[in-house]
Amino acid sequence: MDLQVNRTTDGLTVTLHADHDEARLLGSELEQLPESVVALFDVLLDLRGGTDVPLEQWREHLRALRRLELWLAAPMRVAIREHAAAGGSYGDLARALRVSRSTAQYQRDQVLSEPPHPSEGAVRRIPPEPEPDRAAEPTVVNYAAPGSTVGIQATTVNGVDI
């Protein structure tokens, strides 16, 4: 997987390239990622923009950030479980997470004390292959919130987001 950032006089272009196998393994997460990143950037723009943001916009921001938080929680829990299973210490986890050892210990103990959440199973599940009879023509989708200056373009080939 490759991420390219190109700065121009018109702004900034971010391109994520996933090869066919990576795109197949990531499946629908590649559809969710652009929307989540745009939502995060919209929050940052409103926080840093120095303008009054209406209450309803803050509600939208909070909903979007909560979706992103939940979306990231399952891979984090699985990674913590895998780190522990591989023999990782609390200290090593603390360094990886850039938190204190006691915080790392608390987080790992919390994760390991509970059975895996169903969303953790989804992290490990490989999405189904796209239908083979679909045309090999790319489909381009632009993601942007209404009134937003942030946009992301996603391309799909044979039903696989790239």
What is the per-residue pLDDT across 8-58, written as a single tens digit (0 to 9) for each? Answer: 888 888 888 888 888 888 877 777 777 788 888 889 999 999 889 999 999
Tell me the residue range of the domain where 22 lies: 2-161
User: In the predicted model, what is the mean pLDDT of residues 133-156?
Assistant: 55
Q: What mean pLDDT value characterizes the chain?
A: 81
**Dihedral sign computed on CA atoms, order 86, 89, 95, 101:** positive
Give the total number of structural domains in the chain. Answer: 1
Q: Cα angle vertex 42, ends 37, 45, to 5°?
A: 125
**What's the distance, Cα to Cα, between the start and end of the chain in Å?**
10
pLDDT for 94 beyond 80: yes
What's the whole-number mean pLDDT along residues 80-95?
97
Average pLDDT of span 85-90: 97
* Residue 84 CB-density burial (10 A; 0-12 exposed, 13-18 middle, 19+ buried): middle
